[in-house]
Amino acid sequence: MTDATMTEFALPRPRAATADHPVARALLTATAMFFIALFLLLPLITVFAQALKNGVSTALAAIVEPDALSAVKMTLIAAGIAVPLNVVFGLAASWAISKFDFRGKSFLITLIDLPFSVSPVISGLVYVLLFGMMGWFGPWLREHDIKIIFAIPGIVLATMFVTFPFVARELIPLMSDQGRDEEEAATSLGASGLQTFRRVTLPNIKWGLLYGVLLCNARAMGEFGAVSVVSGHIRGQTNTMPLHIEVLYNDYQFVAAFAVASLLALLALVTLTVKTFLEWHYADEIAAVHKH
Amino acid sequence: MSLVVESVAKRFDRFPALKGVSFSAPKGCFLALLGPSGSGKTTLLRILGGLEFAEAGRVKFEDGDWLALPARERRAGFVFQQYALFRHMTVAKNIAFGLEVRGRRHRPPRGEISRRVEELLSLVQLDGLGKRYPSQLSGGQRQRVALARALAIEPRMLLLDEPFGALDAKVRKELRMWLRHIHDKTGITTVFVTHDQEEAMELADLVAILNQGSIEQIGSPAEIRRSPASYFVADFIDSPIRPSAEQVVPFPETRAARH
């Protein structure tokens, strides 16, 4: 058989009906990669490069300096209070929305999204208008010697406001999709409300919950706008990490600013790594829960 | 009579789902609730299971006020159309669930639980599949796990909501006979919801035919075949026999069609 007869009978290479042309595929992938490199990877590298410009010891010195440590502490306090409270709220809201029908349900869903659509500056400002010296509750708070604005409570409140939707938004579609069949089955088998929640509801949503918590935490630690309005920028007292970075930057202390920034970026990277590791480690279990 | 249902009524928003349903069934009976979708049969079953609440009426079971018991204390084994297996648990864990959530005093020891699970697995012919997850089973196997799970609590009443609705015709037929066999073996009063008249007539001791929230007729399959009480019943069970003149209850759809 010659080569000529071979080509005559050769069939086109089999391809899936939905497959795109290889050139188109390569082009799309390259575009995506280019944008990720330009907008995500490059800035991240810059942060670390700037921080380490004058060596590791200079960067470390900027982090262990008292004002910086106070900012780290403040950030951890804000996230440490806001995240658990948002978990409780997110669980309650998504439970109510996905498992029950009640009046005002669609209104509640819209309301949960409010922090996403409102500018963070406004989120901070409403608390100043409510609890500030000139605000609605201002005189009463002053009489009772309670300080909310320019103090920790204000920062926690503002952080909570902007992170409100994260857990609920993650859980509502998940729980609606799962319906109430399994809970009903558990009840008919004699489980109490608490047992049903602990043994059936929670295991089914734990991955969504974890994901929501991680996102919520990342945002809580990184929030700038809303916290900036209520904090008052008192160095060593009411500055969180993002605020401290801004202060340093405005003082032309670029290396210090980038050193603290890389610590914040590191926290984000740890978050992502933990998430990826958990997803990889429990891949089988996740598949079992999501498949019907 | 062991199960007595008296004028049970329920509305969803303003739409009446059940308009005062009454009937009774003897102990150990296999009762089928048969009707088209929207006839109220599932609502009635869910009321018996405590998953839905009646607005009016009473239910007596073994001389006790059944509706006064909360769902978790009724020991009514409920089998759902979509199985509702706990997807994050193995088959064995699913079956053991009802025993493991019992209070410490009523909970059997661990060895006893696993022995019971093995027993039930072999009753539903799934020996050796205890370690699988529900997602690794076929539809017919899943429904058998659901039944084993319901039987594990030694239910006083077994409630099945179109249990074979999602399965193909062949598996349906097999499981049908097998379910009847299990019922005869355990003798548990069983209420079975279906829209398939063949399934109801073949399986049940007593068939209640529901239409728009009311019972059109209740009786043994033979009785219903012999003398359907209304045009609706005759039509629904594909009977060549038409109801005799004095029995005729006006059939709303036919009336509507004439206008």
A128-165 tens-digit pLDDT? 888 887 878 888 888 888 888 888 889 999 999 999 89
CB spacing of A187 vs B71 below 8 angstroms: yes
pLDDT recorded at residue B188: 93
Could you report the per-residue pLDDT of A201-211, keeping only the tens digit for each? 999 888 889 88
Q: Which of residues 145-184 of A touch B (CB under 8 A)?
A: 181-182, 184
Kindly list the residues from chain B whose CB atom is less than 8 angstroms away from the CB atom of residue A285.
Answer: 88
Question: Side by side, which strands form the sheet with B56-61?
Answer: B15-25, B3-12, B56-61, B64-65
pLDDT at position A4 over 80: no
Kindly list the residues from chain A whose CB atom is less than 8 angstroms away from the CB atom of residue B152.
Answer: 189
Could you report the per-residue pLDDT of B113-169, keeping only the tens digit for each? 999 999 999 988 899 999 999 999 999 899 999 999 999 999 999 999 999 887 888
pLDDT at position A288 over 70: no
Q: Which of A95-99, A281-285, B48-52, B225-229 bottoms out in mean pLDDT, i.e. has the lowest?
A: A281-285
Could you report the per-residue pLDDT of A112-122, keeping only the tens digit for each? 888 888 888 88
pLDDT band per the 50, 70, 90 thresholds, residue B256: very low
CB spacing of A185 vs B49 below 8 angstroms: no
pLDDT band per the 50, 70, 90 thresholds, residue B259: very low
Helical ranges in A118-164 per DSSP H: 120-131, 138-143, 152-163
pLDDT recorded at residue B158: 95
pLDDT at position A16 over 90: no
Parallel, antiparallel or unpaired: strands B157-161 and B64-65: unpaired
**Residue of A99, A174, A188 to mutate for B, most B C-beta atoms under 10 A:** A188
Mean confidence (pLDDT) of chain B:
89
Q: How far apart are CA A123 and CA A115, in angstroms?
A: 7
Query: Mean pLDDT over residues A33-59, rounded?
Result: 89
pLDDT recorded at residue B253: 45
Q: Which of B72, B80, B82 is facing A190, going by the closest CB pair?
A: B72
| A186 at interface of B, judged by CB pairs closer than 8 A | yes
- The residues, ordered by sequence, that sit 6+ positions from A46 with a Cβ below 8 Å of its Cβ are none
pLDDT at position B258 over 70: no
Could you report the per-residue pLDDT of A50-81, keeping only the tens digit for each? 888 888 888 888 888 899 999 999 999 999 99
What percent of chain B has a predicted confidence (pLDDT) above 90? Answer: 67
Q: Which of A182, A189, A291 is facing B98, going by the closest CB pair?
A: A189
Q: Which of A90-104, B1-15, B85-99, B241-255 bottoms out in mean pLDDT, i.e. has the lowest?
A: B241-255
| Nearest by Cα to B25 from B148, B152, B153, B158 | B158
**Residue of A180, A189, A198 to mutate for B, most B C-beta atoms under 10 A:** A189
CB spacing of B71 vs A200 below 8 angstroms: no
| A194 at interface of B, judged by CB pairs closer than 8 A | no
Per the CB < 8 A criterion, the answer to whether B71 and A188 are in contact is: yes
Q: How far is A143 from chain B (nearest CA, A)?
A: 51
Dig out the tokens for B154 from the structure.
């030694």
10 Å CB burial of residue A15 (0-12, 13-18, 19+) is exposed
B153: nearest CA partner in chain A: A189
pLDDT recorded at residue A11: 66
pLDDT at position A292 over 70: no
Q: Which of B84, B87, B101 is facing A195, going by the closest CB pair?
A: B101
Identify the sign of the CA torsion A7, A9, A15, A18. Answer: positive
CB spacing of A181 vs B49 below 8 angstroms: no
Q: Which of A185, A192, A195 is facing B78, going by the closest CB pair?
A: A185
Could you report the per-residue pLDDT of A211-250, keeping only the tens digit for each? 889 889 989 998 998 999 888 888 888 889 999 999 999 9
- The residues, ordered by sequence, that sit 6+ positions from B5 with a Cβ below 8 Å of its Cβ are B21, B22, B23, B24, B44, B57, B58, B59
| A291 at interface of B, judged by CB pairs closer than 8 A | yes
